[in-house]
Amino acid sequence: MGLHDGHRQRSKRRYLALGAEGMEDHQLLELLLFYAIPQGDVNELAHRLVDHFGSLAGVLDAPAEELKKVPGVGEHTAVLLKLVPAIGGRYQEQRGAPGQIIHSPEEAAAVLSPYFFGAANEMVYILCLDGKGKVLGVRKVSEGSIYASDINIRRIAEAAMSLRSAGLYLAHNHISNLAFPSAADWQTTDVIRSALAGVGLELIDHLIFVDGDVLSLNQSESGGHRPVYELL
């Protein structure tokens, strides 16, 4: 057994006994690095990564090219670190609940949030429901922009109609970390709602995901936070 093998075994046993809740960010990252760097001490590298990116989440959210700029991080390590949020997101998606009845924006957000896990780009999804609020499916309809001039409303309608939807939640993420709707968000919502109504589809709400938080435009409007804008 090598010099560091005992430490690695103790770290693994600690995780099995305590779970992630019983370990610090750098300890969890060190445990993960064992599988990218089979030999040697990776404790210093784990600390270096957390210090550089601010947290474990910051490390896992960082682009692969930025990770590789940190001394000690090669391609194998960068790929492993990027796989964690990717696999976590896929896992959460596949645990989704087709057939679940959605009663509120909060319940809709719980279904949609895994699709934005670790997202580096702005993405747009729809959560499709039948007339009783039962989940029929989630579809990605755009990536890169939510603006009315860029989003393909026909794609939204076709995706929803392919599932025989009666209504849908529209959802996108703000990568700017601004946790409030912009005038463009309101304007786009109105354009999409009007277009969908013309083909018999209800836009139930528009949800904005920002760094772990969720904002409902319907709830924001009821609170009197809707801005005034000029129509296109």
Q: What is the pLDDT of residues 55-110, one digit of tens each?
A: 998 999 899 999 999 999 999 999 999 999 888 877 766 665 667 899 999 999 99
Name the stretches of the chain with pLDDT < 70: 1-4, 92-98, 145-150, 177-179, 222-232
45-57 confidence digits (pLDDT tens): 999 999 999 999 8
Rg (alpha carbons) of the chain, rounded to whole number? 21
Q: What is the pLDDT of residue 157?
A: 95
Record the tokens describing residue 224, joined without a space. Answer: 């009197």
Looking up tokens 């957000």 gives 109
DSSP 70: S
Domain ranges (residues) in the chain: 5-93, 97-222
Q: State how far the Cα of 184 lies from the Cα of 176, in Å rounded to an integer.
A: 14
Identify the CATH number of the domain defined by range 5-93.
1.10.150
Helix 5-18 × helix 25-33 angle, to 10°: 120
Whether 96 contacts 157, CB under 8 Å: no
Bridge partner residues of 38 (DSSP): none
Identify the CATH number of the domain defined by range 97-222.
3.40.140.10
